[in-house]
A and B are shown apart, each in its own frame.
Chain A
């Protein structure tokens, strides 16, 4: 090596050593000066806080782990580092981060994973038994009236009195019905947007399995076909796993007749007894008649798929709210567990958060009781995940009471809910991803 080169090399070494030390010290200084953050908006999770030093946690080693998490979570410029990191990975070919695909045209798609068969079986079984209890009872009662012998048997039972009470109730009410609506995920509908060579589990196959396995007491709504029908429109957000209000709107219009609700203009007392043909006709009419005004309430939405994966951090989307052009009903929304009452289905403050989809009903709550000024007498219980949040506003005009339960957050059982809030119909409204992987449904239904 030439003397000059040697000298240069030496200088280079010294400069690098200096830069290294300065970099570390500057980062430390920054970490020291900047206040710790409670929560990461970008990743939608709470960040680790400075751990308390005590003997126990030192010995168990948990202090060391917490301290490491703390340094990592509160590191200066964390979001910028993440963004930079994902950029580098994208350059290196990455099209999937944290189980989110970067699809064509910047559409983010959550990976569909194989559900746990046992859990799914248990959930279906629980739902079937619920339907048996709710719907089957109706059938039993009718039979009972026709069949003397059967009734005698029932009378002999200790439960006879209860049964009679129930009979009266049932007479007053209409027949209870249980609906099940699984909304396919974006990835299922727009599979062709997946990055090259990427494949996912078929949600359709699982939906078919579920449809076959649920009992006849349950009315299955084919969400997959409905969504496929409107595929050309923007049914899902590009940076979030939820469906857009437009997606929910189409779904609602298509299943109005199945749910047995129709426009107020056509409404009459015996509307529920209308034959199927009439219902279809009504629905057709209402589709033409019912009109909504669309209000964009934000154009600055960067969804959680983007937040989790780090892809497309600069993409901004619009969130719409649909308000009927005429005859909008008033609502009282009672967040039971939080003991809060509001007069709007929308929570404006959520628009300042990262997860702006929470504008609908303020995000996920365990139990919400919505009362409306609708002239309809009907009451419905929704057992749902977050997909329902932007669907519920469409229901308000057709039900006097909507009880909304999210089993993932609700600690009681369905019997607690139904005792407090007697309802006519039950609707299971889930996105495929949640339903296939949810382990709370069984516990919620069976004690």
Chain B
């Protein structure tokens, strides 16, 4: 099930809310878990078993690692070892349990997500013809596997204790607000909330704000931008020559589409979380107002960036190593980040592209970048981002290069056609709204208090109006794509 559907908004959500609020505290998590499983099964009936298995496996692994660590600690405290280093040394049993758990998680992810990709690559490189059956990718597997891994690592590092209650643990993995499109919640951030959290009418209202805004971003802005991109993309793949301007319009439309889609989903997740008393961290922080690529990645998909920093980059040594190793670390992290987005080479290239840019900025560019006018810093950043998205949305590296070529006039036809003006002009409201909503201006207008008389009424009506408009969009337009089926 996706959030931007009638089934979710008008059937699933009200039923879940009613059940959740009428039930006593001790079964609330159970209610939330069952509804999450229904939510997942609604679109992915077959793979619900996989998710349940993953939950059980990780629950027991976490417990196992934790118990062995406790034993270990008892042993070492029995020996009265005072040496800090030695205390941190974990015994073999813990290590083996941990490594096996991680490997199994990665194997499951690898099998469903990267199996076909791997064989394709082998076939291309070795010129073999190994045949395989392409399995459908279970929705959200990348998100929940990463959550499970973060849990195991946090337990292994001794930063959290293992979750004893299987329902709470299952809820951590499968909670429907963040289940299929993130954010990737770290166990450490939510551990206490699973056991103890407070719902309130005010929090519910706050959640409603997030949800309405997120839904609006997804349905109005992302879907409409998606339509524009889709038409350009179709012409491109059927070999119709377009003007330079149109190629830019297409790339910019995609840039806006993916931001509003993804951040819209995250907003809805945060909002839904609040409705059930959870506080999730924000996942996007106006990434398109960044003044450098480094800043962009501090603001874009924050939960994924955090995950890779905490569990890959820092363990590899981070930046506290020689420049050579640091560059190696960055490239590894960014290649994996790319690969996380989909099992295709263009995602790897997209990741490495950012890796290289970040290294370049870190070691060379920043000192110059800070000296140029701010507007140029913004332009440079946006240009790099748009180019990045071309690699992201293209089928292959070749087609990405072809697209980029047409953006600078190689293989395109003319600079601007009348039809292009039509696309730009007849969507002016959309472009304007898109640009405003990439910055904090939109939120500022919407949430501004201090209107004469009663500010809250004006704001509330504006939100409800936005919700009604969004519903009208959902009724009228059938174009409602789900972009994360490859994640």
A79-133 residues at the B interface, CB under 8 angstroms: 81-82, 84-86, 88-89, 91-96
Is B86 interfacial (CB 8 A cutoff)? no
Residue from B211, B417, B467, B471 with most neighbouring chain A CB atoms (10 Å): B471
Q: Which of B7, B17, B419, B476 has the most CB of A within 10 A?
A: B476
Given contacts A20-B212, A24-B14, A61-B43, is CB(A14)–CB(B426) below 8 Å? Answer: no
| B208-A195 in contact (CB<8A) | no
- Roughly how many angstroms separate A240 CA and B369 CA in the complex, as a whole number? 58
Please, which residues of chain B bring their CB within 8 A of the CB of A21?
A: 14, 17
Q: Is the C-beta of B11 less than 8 angstroms from some C-beta in chain A?
A: yes
SS class of chain A's interface: helix, strand, loop or mixed?
A: helix
B429 close to A (CB within 8 Å)? yes
Given A8-B456, A27-B10, A197-B421 in contact, is the A310-B476 Cβ separation under 8 Å? yes
Contact call A64/B43, Cβ cutoff below 8 A: yes
Task: Report how far A14 CA is from B425 CA in the complex, Å.
Answer: 40
Do A13 and B202 touch (CB < 8 A)? yes
In the complex, A196→B14 CA distance in Å? 45
A88 touches B469 (CB 8 A): yes
Interface residues of B in 27-47 (CB under 8 A from A): 42-43, 45-46
Instruction: Indicate whether A20 sits within 8 Å of B10 (C-beta atoms), given known contacts A81-B475, A197-B425.
Output: no
**A39 contacts chain B at the CB level, 8 A cutoff:** no
Q: Which residues of A contact B208 (CB under 8 A)?
A: 13, 16-17, 20
CB distance from A49 to the nearest CB of B (A): 15
Flag if B472 contacts A12 (CB, 8 Å): no
- What is the CB-to-nearest-CB distance from A326 to chain B, in angstroms, rounded to a whole number? 51
B372 contacts chain A at the CB level, 8 A cutoff: no
B343 part of interface (Cβ distance < 8 Å): no
B464 at the binding interface (Cβ < 8 Å): yes
**Residues in B whose Cβ lies below 8 Å from that of A13:** 201-206, 208-209
CB neighbours of B159 from chain A (8 A): none
Give the number of A-B contacts (CB < 8 Å): 150
B81 at the A interface (CB under 8 A) = no
- The answer to whether residues A14 and B17 also contact, given A64-B42, A81-B472, A88-B472 and a CB cut-off of 8 A, is no
Closest CB of chain B to A319's CB: distance in Å? 28
**Range of interface residues on A (Cβ < 8 Å):** 35 or more
Of the residues B428, B463, B474, contact of A92 by C-beta under 8 Å: B428
Cβ contact within 8 Å between A72 and B472: no
| Interface bits B438-464 vs A (CB < 8 Å: 1, else 0) | 000000000001000011110110011
Return chain A residues, CB-CB under 8 Å to B13. Answer: 24
Instruction: Please give the residue numbers on chain A whose beta carbons come within 8 Å of chain B beta carbons, in ascending order.
Output: 5, 8-21, 23-25, 27-28, 31, 58-59, 61, 64, 67-68, 71-72, 75, 78, 81-82, 84-86, 88-89, 91-96, 195-199, 310
Can you offer 15 A-B residue contacts whose CB atoms are under 8 A? Answer: A8-B455, A16-B205, A17-B201, A20-B211, A24-B14, A58-B45, A64-B1, A85-B476, A88-B469, A92-B428, A92-B429, A95-B426, A96-B426, A197-B422, A197-B425
- For the complex of A and B, the 4 pairs showing the least CB-CB separation, nearest first, are A92-B429, A13-B205, A12-B456, A17-B205
